[in-house]
């Protein structure tokens, strides 16, 4: 089954404790990205990757890091989480190009206390 | 600034009725527009993708239209069912390496 898989689905952590949210896709997509969803603000892009070893900032990259060492994986790293990073996070993937459908993961609900 | 707006934020409709959800965008130079469904505690499910050169797309009871000149898209749901209750999101590719999302319409189908 074609899918984007995120782990964990739920996470509660404390301020400053480094964490990684994993994202994996099995569709051989070149393009992957991370979004956060907050009430009243909708989904906003954090980082994206056009292919292996190619990443770039989205609209809200502060406090986040990403890496793309393999085509299928695109982890999101929070080096020192803060309460304002409490949010619902989504990973997405698609084939490269302008005319392709985006597929999203199930989401990771992160709470930073 | 490229923005996507969905009004109303919430909508309640009796079961069996046909309904229309609205999406408007500020820039007519779009590459494609995608409608998603979001259920509580679950991810985003892609419903329909409309390319910039297309006027509409259909999947089962769903029909999405696109009018670039007026900056509008509609999602038509025929013969609504309680299982259609969810939040519906409209997302536009303006060609800037991301999808720009509206804040969604929360749809409730009343049995």
DSSP state letters, B35-87: EEEE-TTS-EEEEEEEETT-SEEEETTEEEEEETTTTEEEEEE-S--GGG-EE
Neighbours of B86 (CB within 10 A): 20
What is the tens place of the pLDDT at every residue in B10-51?
999 999 999 999 999 998 889 999 999 999 878 899 999 999
Torsions phi, psi for B77 (to 5 deg): -115, 120
Those residues with Cβ within 8 angstroms of residue A1's Cβ, 6 or more apart along the chain or in another chain: none
Q: Which of A48, A59, A98 sits opposite B31 (nearest CB)?
A: A98
**Tokens matching residue B52:** 């910039």
**Average pLDDT for chain B:** 95
Q: How far is B17 from chain A (nearest CA, A)?
A: 28
- Residue A90 to residue B43, Cβ atoms within 8 A: yes
Among A27, A29, A42, A106, most B C-beta atoms within 10 A, so best to mutate, is: A42
> What pLDDT is recorded for position B41?
77
What is the tens place of the pLDDT at every residue in A30-81?
999 999 999 989 899 999 999 999 999 999 999 999 999 999 999 999 999 9
Among A49, A102, A108, most B C-beta atoms within 10 A, so best to mutate, is: A102
Give the Cα separation of A31 and A17 in Å (integer): 29
- Residue B46 to residue A99, Cβ atoms within 8 A: no
Question: How much is the average pLDDT of B82-91?
Answer: 97
Contacts of A57 in chain B (CB under 8 A): none
Q: How far is CA A106 from CA A103, B6, B69, in A?
A: 10, 23, 34
- Residue B43 to residue A105, Cβ atoms within 8 A: yes
> What pLDDT is recorded for position A99?
66
- Residue A48 to residue B49, Cβ atoms within 8 A: no
């Amino acid at each position: 089954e074609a899918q984007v898989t995120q782990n964990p689905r739920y996470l509660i952590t404390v301020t400053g404790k480094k964490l990684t949210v994993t994202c994996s896709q099995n569709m051989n997509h070149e393009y992957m990205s991370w979004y956060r969803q907050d009430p009243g603000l909708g989904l906003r892009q954090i980082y994206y990757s056009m292919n292996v070893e190619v990443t770039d900032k989205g609209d809200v990259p502060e406090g986040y890091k990403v890496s793309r060492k393999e085509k299928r994986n695109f982890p999101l790293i929070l080096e020192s989480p803060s309460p304002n990073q409490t949010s619902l996070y989504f990973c997405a993937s698609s084939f490269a190009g302008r005319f392709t459908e985006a597929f999203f993961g199930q989401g990771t609900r992160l709470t930073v206390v | 600034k490229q923005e996507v707006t969905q009004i109303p934020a919430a909508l309640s409709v009796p079961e069996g009725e046909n309904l229309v959800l609205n999406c408007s965008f500020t820039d007519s130079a779009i590459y494609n527009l995608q409608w998603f469904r979001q259920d509580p505690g679950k991810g985003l499910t892609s419903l329909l993708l409309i390319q910039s050169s297309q006027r509409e797309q259909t999947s089962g009871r769903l029909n999405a239209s696109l009018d670039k000149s007026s900056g509008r898209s509609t999602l038509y749901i025929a013969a609504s069912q309680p299982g259609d209750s969810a939040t519906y999101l409209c997302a536009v590719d303006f060609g800037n390496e991301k999808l720009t999302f509206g804040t969604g319409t929360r749809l409730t189908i009343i049995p």
